[in-house]
Amino acid sequence: DSGVTQTPKHLITATGQRVTLRCSPRSGDLSVYWYQQSLDQGLQFLIQYYNGEERAKGNILERFSAQQFPDLHSELNLSSLELGDSALYFCASSVGVGTQYFGPGTRLTVL
Amino acid sequence: DQQVKQNSPSLSVQEGRISILNCDYTNSMFDYFLWYKKYPAEGPTFLISISSIKDKNEDGRFTVFLNKSAKHLSLHIVPSQPGDSAVYFCAANPGGSQGNLIFGKGTKLSVKP
């Protein structure tokens, strides 16, 4: 158990809908990262937050947004969903810029 | 263009033998490198890391070697055990204040009893 929790574990929704994925980092970790893993792909970095502020952006679509709250949990919002958004979404946390510890992931299926 | 490449999608090894997983990268500015192991339906689990200023790091059965001139790193698992069967991801940290990792596509290791 990495100490990073993600909910929900599975999410099935329809095209055009909006969903919210939630992540709680390990106790003491200030950085939260979001990654997307599509079929047969490595993990693609989406966005990083550090202590409530956006720190870095990767290949994140404009339809996607994220935030980190004062209690350091983070939410990833995905809107106007398309079939191609079906993937595993992982959250990771670290103390600062260091080894990242991953949550179990949320499997999103868009029908 | 992939900055971190794992050119072998799969590897099969006999229990007790050595497993060698390889990774190549293109950016000489990468700060440090990590290996993660992933079982189905679970998140990646951190295994071992190495700083760009070192050429070897060892932790139990796992050793990572870094060859900066060749922009190549490898993970050695000795001896391999059936429980090591998983997908192994190589990742690189670009350095600076941004901590995001750049991942390879992974190598699926199968350790046969």
Mean pLDDT of B74-92: 97
pLDDT > 90? residue A62: yes
Return the HEC string of B32-84: EEEEEEECCCCCCEEEEEEECCCCEEEECCEEEEEECCCCEEEEEECCCCHHH
Provide mean pLDDT across the span B25-48.
93
- Most A CBs within 10 Å: which of B49, B100, B103, B105, as the mutation test of the A interface? B100
Q: Tell me the chain A residues in contact with residue B43 when contact means C-beta distances shorter than 8 Å.
A: 2, 4, 6, 90, 92, 102-105
Q: Which residues of A touch B91 (CB under 8 A)?
A: 43
Centre a 10 Å sphere on the Cβ of residue B66 and count the other Cβ atoms it contains. 22
Q: What percent of chain B has pLDDT over 90?
A: 83
pLDDT at residue B104 is higher than 90: yes
Q: What is the pLDDT of residue A98?
A: 76
- Out of A17-31, A61-75, B65-79, B91-105, which region has the weakest mean confidence (pLDDT)? B91-105
One-letter amino acid identity for B66? Answer: L
More confident residue, A41 or A70: A70
* Whether the predicted pLDDT of B97 surpasses 70: no
d(CA B35, CA B85): 14
Confidence of residue B92 (pLDDT cuts 50, 70, 90): very high
pLDDT classification of A25: cutoffs 50, 70, 90? very high
Instruction: Report pLDDT for A39.
Output: 80
Q: What is the pLDDT of residue A13?
A: 97
| Cβ–Cβ pairs < 8 A, chains A and B | 66
* Chain A residues touching B99 at Cβ < 8 A: 31, 33, 48, 55-56, 94, 96-98, 100
> Is the CB of B99 less than 8 angstroms away from the CB of A33?
yes
A52 touching chain B per CB within 8 A: no
Going by pLDDT thresholds of 50, 70 and 90, the confidence category of residue B106 is very high
pLDDT at B65 over 90: yes
Interface of B with A in 51-90 (CB under 8 A): 89
Residue A16 banded pLDDT, cuts 50, 70, 90: very high
| 8 Å CB contact between A27 and A17 | no
Q: Do A102 and B45 touch (CB under 8 A)?
A: yes
What pLDDT score was predicted for residue B25?
96
Q: Does B20 touch chain A (CB under 8 A)?
A: no
Q: What angle is formed at CA A35 by the lines to CA A34 and CA A36, rounded to 5 degrees? A: 135
Q: What is the pLDDT of residue B98?
A: 67
pLDDT value for A82 = 96
